[in-house]
């Protein structure tokens, strides 16, 4: 899994750097934050929510959403990521950002059935109207993570059975386009997963994500 995370991190870093560089150019050149670049457009997909309902990309259109990729049997970063997504859900509720959703996609769909995800979601206080948990066929999920969200590197046949994973949050706009990647865990968290459960997301990274989210909310209102 460590090798997988390193590979995933490399690809995500390239995508993240493009977004951050574009943001910086806008600030330097215009004296204000630029429009967020469009990193990639997500392909159409059809997955199953913990409720048993089918959720497609079209169902999410009109909403800004933050995605992460977890699996319920994960003993590493997933519990920390879910804890921080839970905090984000509470903040969105507090700030009345009803146009923003949290979306967790299982990278272990063979084990994470809707019933399993439902139990996992309940223990984290996930509001079914604000925080979705999605699963589906393994091939579809792998393709979505790798080709849609651009969060993996090519694998050898021997590695094909490894779980695709990432410790990034991904910001998606109302039209289903990726607009930003954010480090959910920092270096200190990676070395101390237990302690990370009691720490918040890196303040600077969280600030970037929230600022970009506000930009997309405004963008959709124009």
pLDDT at residue 10, rounded to an integer: 46
How far apart CA 141 and CA 136 sit, in angstroms, is: 6
Q: Select from 106, 166, 161, 165 the least CA-distant residue to 135.
A: 106
pLDDT at residue 166, rounded to an integer: 86
pLDDT at residue 75, rounded to an integer: 87
> What's phi and psi for 132, nearest 5 deg?
-95, 145
- For the chain, the structural domain boundaries read 2-221
How far apart CA 161 and CA 206 sit, in angstroms, is: 32
pTM over 0.85: no
Q: How far is CA 214 from the centre of its chain?
A: 17
Q: Which residues contact 219 (CB under 8 A, 6 or more apart)?
A: 35, 36, 173, 174
pLDDT at residue 163, rounded to an integer: 59
pLDDT at residue 135, rounded to an integer: 98
**pLDDT per position in the chain (222 positions), as tens?**
444 444 444 444 445 445 444 444 433 333 334 479 999 999 999 999 999 999 999 999 999 999 999 999 998 899 999 999 999 999 999 999 999 999 999 999 999 999 999 999 999 999 999 999 999 999 999 999 999 999 865 555 555 555 567 899 999 999 999 999 999 999 999 899 999 999 999 999 999 999 999 999 998 665
Domain 2-221 has CATH 3.40.30.10: yes
Q: Which residues contact 176 (CB under 8 A, 6 or more apart)?
A: 41, 42, 57, 60, 61
* Measured CA distances, 102 to 67, 170, 191, 200, 202 (Å): 6, 10, 26, 17, 18
pLDDT at residue 56, rounded to an integer: 98
pLDDT at residue 9, rounded to an integer: 45
């Amino acid at each position: 899994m460590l090798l997988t995370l390193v590979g995933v991190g490399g690809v995500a870093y390239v995508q993240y750097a493009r977004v951050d560089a574009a943001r910086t150019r806008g600030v330097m050149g215009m004296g204000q934050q630029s429009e967020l670049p469009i990193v990639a457009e997500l392909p159409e997909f059809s997955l199953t929510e913990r409720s048993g309902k089918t959720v497609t990309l079209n169902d999410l259109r009109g909403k800004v959403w933050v995605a992460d990729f977890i699996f319920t049997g994960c003993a590493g970063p997933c519990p920390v990521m879910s804890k921080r997504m839970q905090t984000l859900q509470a903040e969105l509720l507090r700030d009345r950002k009803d146009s923003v959703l949290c979306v967790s996609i299982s990278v272990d769909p063979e084990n994470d059935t809707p019933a399993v995800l439902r139990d996992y979601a309940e223990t984290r206080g996930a509001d079914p109207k604000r925080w979705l948990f999605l699963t589906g066929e393994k091939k579809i999920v792998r393709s979505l993570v790798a080709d849609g969200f651009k969060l993996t590197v090519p694998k050898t046949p021997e590695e094909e059975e490894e779980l695709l994973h990432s410790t990034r949050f991904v910001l998606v706009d109302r039209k289903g386009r990726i607009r930003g990647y954010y480090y959910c865990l920092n270096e200190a968290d990676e070395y101390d997963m237990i302690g990370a459960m009691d720490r918040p997301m890196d303040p600077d990274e969280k600030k970037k994500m929230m600022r970009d989210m506000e930009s997309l909310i405004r963008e959709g209102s124009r």
